[in-house]
Amino acid sequence: MTSQSQSVHVAKVAMHAVAELVGCPAEGVTSVRGGGDENWVIGVEVLEVERVPETSDVLASYHVEVDTNGEIVGFERMRRYERAQTEGV
C-alpha cells in the first residue's frame, strides 16, 4: 500500500470510529500526520448538535490516534464551536 493510500485508509478508519464512539456524524478529516514507524494522528470534525439555522450547528474537533496496525489507541475532543465561528475567535 502506498503512503498516500495508507493515509486515506487510516483517515477513513478514524472518521468512522469517532462517529461510532461519539454517536454523532463525522463531517470530515481536517488533518493527517504520522505514519511509518509512528502512530497516526488524525483530525476529525464531528457534528455534535444540529440546529436551525445550520450556521448555529455545534461542531467539535477530535484528534484520533491510530497505531501502526490500524487500531484506534486513543481519541480526544480538542474544541467545540458553532459552524459559523471562524478560527481564532
pLDDT tens, residue by residue, 29-79: 999 998 778 899 999 999 999 999 989 999 999 999 999 888 999 999 999
Model-level pTM?
A: 0.87
Look up the domain containing 48 and give its range.
3-82
Is 89 a member of any domain?
no
Number of domains the chain is built from: 1
Is 54 a member of any domain?
yes
Is 88 a member of any domain?
no
Task: Please report, for residues 64, 65, 71, 77, 88, the alpha-carbon distance to residue 47 in angstroms, rounded to integers and kept in the order given.
Answer: 16, 20, 23, 12, 19
Task: Please report, for residues 35, 40, 45, 89, the alpha-carbon distance to residue 11 in angstroms, rounded to integers and kept in the order given.
Answer: 11, 9, 12, 27
What is the predicted pLDDT for the residue at 35?
74
Is 87 a member of any domain?
no
Q: Is the pLDDT of residue 16 over 70?
A: yes
> What span, in angstroms and rounded, lies between the C-alpha atoms of 18 and 88?
24
> Length of the chain, please?
89
Of the candidates 52, 11, 49, 40, the one whose C-alpha atom is nearest the C-alpha of residue 28 is 11
